[in-house]
Homo-oligomer: A and B are copies of this chain.
Amino acid sequence: MIKAGIIGSTGYAGAELAGLLLGHPEAEVVWYGSRSYTGQEYTSIYRNMFRMLDAKCLDDNLEELADEADVIFTATPQGFCASVMSDRILEKARVVDLSADFRIKDVKIYEKWYGLEHKSPQYIEKAVYGLCEINREEIKRTRLVANPGCYTTCSILTLYPLVKEGVVELSSIIIDAKSGTSGAGRGAKVPNLFCEVNENIKAYGIGNHRHTPEIEEQLGLACGENVILNFTPHLIPMNRGILATAYAFLKRPFSYEEIKGIYEKYYGEELFIRLLPEGVYPETRWTEGSNFVDINFKIDERTGRIIAIGALDNLVKGAAGQAIQNMNLMFGLPEVLGLERVPLFP
């Protein structure tokens, strides 16, 4: 039985981790870390798990936790994980960091977009970017996974085969993304109040959202070129789900079958990526609660563009589910273990 600790267990992503690990046959949580609720019953905060577990929230002492856990999940604000990371921790435990601290290989870009000094850049190189479908083998061998962001997982997986195979004009890529509100976290802020989000849609972080360089870097690694693109997130009045609508010019006319073949080449065997039938497009509802990413595309012959669309649950494949998929890989377990949930609809 793998012993797991969660730092930041009372945020939405942390709680999703807790819930998923409850149903995981080979792992158990030994540490529910929460700076805000230390000492309180975990299920007094997340009553959905009432009677399913019995534990008090602990603090966020990673050094101490490393003595007790085989794997540590950090679902913490940017900068925290980098500020406490140490060789000792990594020797004792594997770490899956759900923050952005070790996602971006170029530390200058990290510091610029996040406005933070990186406290332990020496671990960036060691960290593997935890997009399982792309870096599976590296993940198996690492002790530190940088779990991708929710927008980025959806955006990268939607575009990866197209970029990798060089079928689209890189400079023409635009990603217009839409997210449910759980992505904004559980902090008490006026803009996230029910009455402010409900019956509304807005764009935010236009031209400067922090997930932009992460997407650019990963797509750049895929094609070996510099990628600069527009990424615009929007806030949607729903709890869960991300939809990414991506646009790009095709370098030449491609047939449906050609592009389909390219997606099949990369994702045909993937358990959590569902390539939808022709003419059927992703909707977030079909993925809710599950680790699936649904993907499809449309070639617009009029404009010469491909529109590729991806959908996932931001708390599962976009955060906690992917983190567990990474854990499974790191510990040599079947990748789907604990992640077999049927999407909940309606």
Contact surface of A with B, Cβ cutoff 8 Å: 12, 15, 19-20, 22-23, 44, 46-52, 171-172, 174, 176, 178, 180-182, 186, 188-190, 192-204, 206-207, 228-230, 232, 234, 236-241, 243, 245, 247, 274, 276-277, 280-290, 294, 298, 300, 302-303, 305, 307, 309, 340-346
Contact = CB atoms under 8 A, between A and B. Distances in A.
A55 B319 CA distance: 32
16 contacts: A12-B195, A15-B345, A48-B287, A48-B288, A50-B286, A174-B174, A174-B305, A182-B195, A192-B195, A195-B346, A196-B346, A206-B298, A230-B305, A237-B237, A237-B238, A247-B247
A195 B178 contact: no
Contact of A285 (B200, B204, B241): B200
B343 A283 contact: no
A85 B342 CA distance: 32
A204 to B, nearest CB: 7
A188 B284 CA distance: 22
B286 A48 contact: yes
**Most B Cβ at <10 Å: residue of A52, A194, A206, A240:** A194
Contacts of A171: 303
Contacts of A243: 201-203, 234
A333 to B, nearest CB: 19
B276 A50 contact: yes
User: How many copies of this chain?
Assistant: 4
A346 B12 contact: yes
A288 B344 CA distance: 10
Contacts of A303: 171, 207, 228-230
Given A202-B243, A240-B346, 20 more contacts: A23-B341, A46-B345, A47-B276, A48-B290, A49-B343, A50-B276, A188-B188, A188-B190, A194-B196, A194-B237, A198-B198, A198-B239, A199-B199, A199-B285, A200-B283, A202-B281, A202-B283, A206-B300, A206-B309, A230-B300
Most buried by B among A19, A202, A228: A202
Nearest to A283: B202
A239 B198 CA distance: 7
Given A176-B245, A232-B307, A283-B47, A193 B186 contact: yes
A157 to B, nearest CB: 16
Contacts of A50: 274, 276, 286, 294
A201 B345 contact: no
A288 to B, nearest CB: 7
A178 B201 contact: yes
A307 B175 CA distance: 12
A316 to B, nearest CB: 10
Contact of A198 (B23, B247, B346): B346
Contacts of A236: 201, 236-237
A309 B193 contact: no
A273 to B, nearest CB: 10
Interface centre among A196, A232, A346 (most CB of B within 10 A): A346
Contacts of A286: 47-48, 50
B203 A238 contact: no
Nearest to A41: B277
A307 B241 contact: no
